[in-house]
Structure 1
């Protein structure tokens, strides 16, 4: 072990960092809090799922979030995407550590692309939790804010003795932004929003989460060279901002926007039919909010 590694390994986890533990299982949540507390951390809050965590984050700032992946209402990965795409409502730069038993390469890639900092594999151990917490406190990767990705740099930082080619952080992982990825991201965001719609008219947290996904859809739409997609995404955002969580909330309007974008997601100029459909939706929104 080198001198640098030895010094780093002997540092303590700061006792005053603010940690949020998110898990729907009361036993697992309490156990995880005990593990973090045993590392010397005293400022710990908890939440029962992603929606509860977002509500807590509206009034408190945290340095690190530990979150379970699979939870009812809103899971850890969906919560991460909403936080990373948040404009001002939440601290989008907060370190996020996902607790999961993932083993498939595809799942690891999905986690990585959502903006997660680190993964703690199940079953958890105190040393594993300390190791991941240590990474985000002392060795956190540069934070990227690009059009298609917000989160820690998706490449592990090279060692100090590395002499190979380096990519500029400013590149924002542009090499990975292909049209296929953009289209896939758009479809993924629309699916997440469809799930949240069922509760959006009666649940404040679900409505705010749906709005954040709509913002994500709008950002993704701008990466596609299709004005009909952009227009439809903007129309959807206009509707959600104007109607809010009220008795006037119409699921049908939102669903029509999502269905329309699902057929327009290619990287090409909009066809006359697509432009006409986007105009019809904009007019429908104007009539509903007028």
Structure 2
């Protein structure tokens, strides 16, 4: 159902793009604008992992790290990748107290996962495993590619909407051109957010399958939401356009599953995961391994 919904939303964004292109310059103008936007976004997609990791202040965790927490983190990510049938991704750490994580990379062979120091310090080992399984699910589902496609279309729509004010008056008139310039990018952004929310539900489901216990991820999401409200992620605040990449909104603690949110509400996600746990016959007990010497015990 999630994949079908994503396809329908992409089709809706494409329809918006096609309609604006026709009003601005007919078929020729539409093709030219799309070509420019596509070229810009292809460059961003090809270098997306490097750009995103640099903008979020991520540092790679080396294989020979002597830090026991980071060594255990790397080993668990490797085990989860093996369970998912994925190549081992590069592992990064972000030095911020806010608990959060994200995945990036254009395909499974060029993937990277990143977690904040706040995530490793606040969550126990099972909860961290649930979070990283979620991120590996994004890699496996090629959600980075999906979001790149939506970004390409959204960029093209924004470009055409600006052209509409100068070149679209003959077809749409001044008022119509102004309306296109204001509302078309807004509509594209709403569709883009809806696609992001849809992919989060799919990654929750697949991530729970990878780690083997939906309640680990459910417990982690609740802790992450509380931590995100209490702590500021300065890297995300400086680059708010990247907020949709994190497992939980790093910009605020908004809990409503509404049109303008980049993520589903945590309550909705936790409820779905608990239903999944019931279907799998998993005991309704959240992850609770002891933390006698840090999150890795």
TM-score (norm 1): 0.26
Larger RCO: 1 or 2 (CA < 8 Å, sep 6+): 2
The structure with more helix, counted as a fraction of residues: 2
TM-score (norm 2): 0.25
